[in-house]
Structure 1
C-alpha cells in the first residue's frame, strides 16, 4: 500500500530524476514490448527525466482519404510521410461497424469488409516497422459497456489482428469512457466491471499478452487542464439531503486563508467555513462570496466555475473547516493557503497529508481521475489517457509541465514499471453548443510552436510517449491533422488537400529525432522558453528549444556530450521553413560544440530550434 506521505514529501524533481532514472530504466526492461534506454553517461546528470521513453507519434484514421480501399497513390503518400516521421507510437482505433454488427444478445463478425481490411493493413504496416500501436473502439452502439458480450467482441477482434500479424501493443477498450456520449454515460465502477470482463475474456481466448496488453483507462483528463493540485484535487461527491462533507486544517493562531474551489454553478452557495479553538466547538466564519470565474473545460472537467475564497483578521482559532452543505452539485477543492503571523501552510491537496483526515465529517474521494485510479486498479499493463492544452482558451502555455509532472509522478508510484502514455494530445479546439469543433487553428503558422511547446513539456514531465491528434483528419468537418481530409479553410488550402500543414514541420522533427530508447533531460529554462535534451540510443544527441517570447533568447546548456556536430532545423512563426520537394524539413546549417562544460545557444523570437546529431 502506498504511503500518503510519499505523494507530498518526495525529493525535489531534479534529485528524483537522478535517483529514479536507473530504477525505472531497469524496470522498463522487464515490461513486455518495451526496450530500455541504453546506459549512458547522461544517466548520472541531475536533469535526467524518470521515464522509459517510447516516443512521439499521432492518431491515424486507417480509412483511405478517397474511395473504399487504399489506392496505390494514397498509400504510398502516407507511407512516405510517416516513414519520414519515424513515429514512436501510433494510435489506430476501430469503429464497431467495420467488423461487427449486432446487439448484446449476439451478432455477426465480418473480417472481410473493406473497412476492416483497411485498418488491419495500416496497423500491420506499423507492426512490421516495429512501431507500437495503441488501439481500441470508438463507440459501442447497440451494446452495453459492461456486458460480457462487449468484452467478447473486443477479444475476437484482437485475436483476429494477432493472427494477421497486426497485433496492437496496447488495447485500451472503449474510447473516453468517462465522457458522456449522447444517452450513454459511464461511471468508474462501470470501467472496472468492463475491464475485468475484458481481462477474463482475454484469458479465456488465450490472447497473447506478450504482444497485446490491456491498457487505459483511455480517459479524457480535462481536469488536469484547469485545476491546481493533482488531477482535480479532493472532490466532494454528490450528496443526499442532510449530507455535510468537510475538511479541516490545523494551525495555531491562524489569521488568514485563501481557498480555491471549483463548482458546477455560477451561483454556488454550498461552501461555508467554520473555525474552532479546540476542534469540538465550531463557529461560522463570515467570508465574502467571491466572483466566480468561468472555466472553459466545462462540467466534464469536474466543475464549470472557479471560486477563490479569502479571509483575514481571524482570531481565537486553531482549526479551519471547509464544509460542503447538502448539494446535488460536484465540488472540487483545488488548494488551500493558511497562515498565522509566522507560519504558512500551502496545501495543494495532492493528498490528505496536510489535512486533518480524522476530523473529516463526510465522504471525500481522494481523487476523481480515472487515469490515476485505473493505474492503481491492478487491471492494466500500461497507463494511458488523453490530455489537451488550453492555450486557445487563454491559459498560460507554461501550465502544462507542472500539472503533468504532478500527475505522472503519482501514476509512477501506482505502477512503476509500466508505460505511461498520452493516447491523444494536442490543442483543445473551440467547441460550439451543438458539439461541433473549430479546427481552423490547425492551419495557422503558430500551431507548430504550440505543438512543440506541448511536446517538450510533456516529455519533461516524465510521460513515456504521446500521440498527437491527429494525422490526416477523421471526417469532412474535422480537419484536425497535418494534411488532407476535411473541409479546410478555402483561403488557405483546398478541401481534402494533400498539402502539408505548418505543424507537420515541427511535429515530424520531434517524432523523428526523439526516438524510442532516448534518455530525456530537462535542462534549466529561461522564462517563456521550453528546453529539452535527449541522449539518443546510439549515443548521439538532440536538443529542442521553443521560444514563445517576442525576442531572441539565449539558453545555457550543460550536458555530457563531448565534441559533437549537430544538424540545425529552424521554424519561425510567419516565415517559410526550408523543405525538400516532398515538403520534409531540411537543415539550415550545422553547429559543432562541446556541451560538457556548458555552451550557449540562441533561439529567435517565436521559433522552434531543433539540433540533432542524426541525419
Structure 2
C-alpha cells in the first residue's frame, strides 16, 4: 500500500546537466564550430521527449564573455560574442519549454589559468562582472527561466577554485546576494553545491556534511535553494544505503522549508568485479578519460541510474539533474583533448567528428529510464512512499500525484524476482500507460524513445488487485500523466 502522506510536496522535477559545448561553440574553439544548428536541433528533439524539468548550466566566464582586464585591472566583457550566443541557444530552448535553469561558474577565471588576477570568488570584480552578465541574460535577453545561481562548483573540494576555503566562499555568497539585490535581479542563490560524501582535511569544515550543516546554520537567509552532489558506488546504491544516508541529510535542510535538490547525481563502478570491469573498459576506449561512466552503453546503468534517482525522491528530495547530457561537452580539465572525453552522456553529439564512430551519437540505454523519470514527474507533485518501506530489501516503489495525474515507479534492484500486489489511491484517468525496462529487452520507437508496452486499469491498483511480477534488475513505470 502506497501511503497518502507525502514524503515531499511541491516537487521541482528531475533533469540534466547541460553545458554550452565550450570546445565546439565557435570557429576559435579547440574543435572549431562543430555544434551547428543541425546538431542542436537533434539535441532539442531528444530533450523534447525527455522533458527535463530542471537544467544545470555551468560555465567559466573566460569561456564566454570575460576577455581579460584593462590597464586599471577592470574586466573587459563581451556579451555579443559567439560563445555567449551558444549559451543563449540553450537558454532559448529552456525558456520556450518552461524549464527551470540553475546557472553558475565552475570557478573564477584565474583558477582556469586566465590572466587578470581574478582568483577568488569574493573579488568585487568577479561579483560585478557576474551580475552584469546575468543582468544581460535575464533582463536584456528575457531569460526568465534562470532562477538560481551557483557561485562555484563543489566549493568544499580540494579540487575547487576555493580549495575548501569556507570564509572566502561565504563572503562571495554574501557579496553576490547583495549585488543581485542592488541590480534588482530575481535570481536566488543555490548552495552549497558541495559533494556531501567527500572530505577535505584542509577545510575549516572538513566534511561535505558539515558544509550542508553550516550553510543552514550560517547562511540560510542568503540561500534560496539547497543543492548538493553525489556520485555513489554501485554497491552503496543497490543495498539501499543511498536512501538511508540522504534521508539524514534531508533532515538537516527540511526545517528551512526550502527546496533541496541534487545539482549533480550519478553512479560509479569502482569496487569489486564491477570496478575491475570498469577499469578494463577505460583501457579499451581510446577516447575516454578515467572520469567516464562506460556502463552508459549497457542495460545495467539504466537500472542503477534510475535506482539512485528513485532513492533520492524516496528520501524526500525535490529533484536531481543527471551528470551529464552529452559527451560532446567536457574533457579532462576542459583542455579539449579528443582522447580525454568525459564519457557520461546519453549520447555524443559529435561522435563521428571526435571518435570516428557515428554510433556514438546514438541514444544509450539509460535514456529510457531517466527520461521517463523526468517526463512523468512534472513539477508540483506530492511524492509518496509505501507505508512499510524497506530500502535494504532491493524493491523500490515511489509514486507522484498532482492535478496532472499519478505516476508510480517500481524497481527491483536485486537479482531475485519479486511478486506482490500494488495498491495506491490513483488520481486522474483510469487508464495508465505501462513502460517496462527488462533484462530481456525494452520497447523503443525509430528514434529510440521509450514506447509503452501496455495499459493498466487504475481501478485495479486502487483496490489492490494489480499483481506485479518483477524480474531481478528490472524497472516499470505506470502513469496517466499527459506531459504535453
Q: TM-score, normalised by structure 2?
A: 0.81
Residues 1:425 and 1:396: Cα distance change in structure 2 (over 3 Å): same
**1:503 equivalenced with 2:343 (yes/no):** no
**1:113 equivalenced with 2:91 (yes/no):** no
More strand by share: 1
Paired with 1:331 and 1:114, the residues of 2 have a C-alpha distance of: 40
Provide the residue aligned with 1:343 in structure 2.
none
Deviations 1:275-308 (A, max 9, x none): xxxxxxxxxxxxxxxxxxxxxxxx44x6xxxxxx
Provide the residue aligned with 2:333 in structure 1.
none
CA contact (8 A) 1:557 1:598 kept: yes
- Identify the match of residue 213 of structure 2 among 372, 384, 391: 372
Q: CA RMSD in A?
A: 3.0
Deviations 1:1-53 (A, max 9, x none): xxxxxxxxxxxxx9xxxxxxxxxxxxxxxxxxxxxxxxxxx9xx554112320
CA contact (8 A) 2:166 2:205 kept: no
Provide the residue aligned with 2:183 in structure 1.
205
Paired with 1:577 and 1:149, the residues of 2 have a C-alpha distance of: 52
Paired with 2:382 and 2:99, the residues of 1 have a C-alpha distance of: 18
CA contact (8 A) 1:513 1:614 kept: yes
**Contiguous gaps of at least 5 residues in structure 1:** 1-13, 15-41, 224-298, 303-327, 333-364
Provide the residue aligned with 2:284 in structure 1.
none
Residues 1:329 and 1:478: Cα distance change in structure 2 (over 3 Å): closer
**1:469 equivalenced with 2:437 (yes/no):** no
Residues 1:429 and 1:187: Cα distance change in structure 2 (over 3 Å): farther
- Displacement of 1:125 in angstroms is 1.5
CA contact (8 A) 1:58 1:91 kept: yes
Provide the residue aligned with 2:90 in structure 1.
122
Aligned length: 427
**Contiguous gaps of at least 5 residues in structure 2:** 26-30, 111-117, 271-277, 280-288, 331-337
CA contact (8 A) 1:56 1:87 kept: yes
Deviations 1:77-106 (A, max 9, x none): 111110111111111112212111326932
**1:134 equivalenced with 2:68 (yes/no):** no
Deviations 1:192-228 (A, max 9, x none): 1110111121122222x2xx212212112124xxxxx
Paired with 2:177 and 2:233, the residues of 1 have a C-alpha distance of: 35
CA contact (8 A) 2:424 2:464 kept: yes
- Displacement of 1:514 in angstroms is 1.0
Please give the residue correspondences for 1:61-100 in structure 2 after superposition, counting only pairs within 5 Å. 61-63=19-21, 67-68=32-33, 70-97=35-62, 98-100=64-66
Paired with 1:613 and 1:113, the residues of 2 have a C-alpha distance of: 45
Residues 1:105 and 1:77: Cα distance change in structure 2 (over 3 Å): same
CA contact (8 A) 2:190 2:227 kept: yes
Provide the residue aligned with 2:171 in structure 1.
193
Task: Give the secondary structure class of the aligned counterpart of 1:170.
Answer: strand
Residues 1:105 and 1:200: Cα distance change in structure 2 (over 3 Å): farther
- Displacement of 1:542 in angstroms is 1.0
- Identify the match of residue 420 of structure 2 among 542, 548, 555: 555
- Displacement of 1:525 in angstroms is 4.5
Deviations 1:381-401 (A, max 9, x none): 111111222216x66441011
Paired with 1:109 and 1:443, the residues of 2 have a C-alpha distance of: 41
Residues 1:583 and 1:179: Cα distance change in structure 2 (over 3 Å): same
Larger radius of gyration: 1
CA contact (8 A) 1:69 1:115 kept: no
- Displacement of 1:133 in angstroms is 0.4
Please give the residue correspondences for 1:317-332 in structure 2 after superposition, counting only pairs within 5 Å. none
**1:519 equivalenced with 2:382 (yes/no):** yes
Residues 1:74 and 1:67: Cα distance change in structure 2 (over 3 Å): farther
- Identify the match of residue 156 of structure 1 among 132, 142, 145: 132
Provide the residue aligned with 1:292 in structure 2.
none
**1:57 equivalenced with 2:15 (yes/no):** yes
Residues 1:503 and 1:408: Cα distance change in structure 2 (over 3 Å): same
Paired with 1:216 and 1:462, the residues of 2 have a C-alpha distance of: 18
**1:446 equivalenced with 2:300 (yes/no):** yes
Residues 1:514 and 1:183: Cα distance change in structure 2 (over 3 Å): closer
Paired with 1:331 and 1:82, the residues of 2 have a C-alpha distance of: 38
Paired with 2:103 and 2:20, the residues of 1 have a C-alpha distance of: 11
CA contact (8 A) 1:567 1:587 kept: yes
- Displacement of 1:583 in angstroms is 0.6
Deviations 1:284-342 (A, max 9, x none): xxxxxxxxxxxxxxx44x6xxxxxxxxxxxxxxxxxxxxxxxxx99999xxxxxxxxxx
Please give the residue correspondences for 1:402-421 in structure 2 after superposition, counting only pairs within 5 Å. 402-413=244-255, 415-416=256-257, 418-421=258-261
**1:172 equivalenced with 2:39 (yes/no):** no
Q: TM-score, normalised by structure 1?
A: 0.64
- Identify the match of residue 422 of structure 1 among 259, 262, 265: 262
Residues 1:576 and 1:73: Cα distance change in structure 2 (over 3 Å): farther
Paired with 2:296 and 2:290, the residues of 1 have a C-alpha distance of: 15
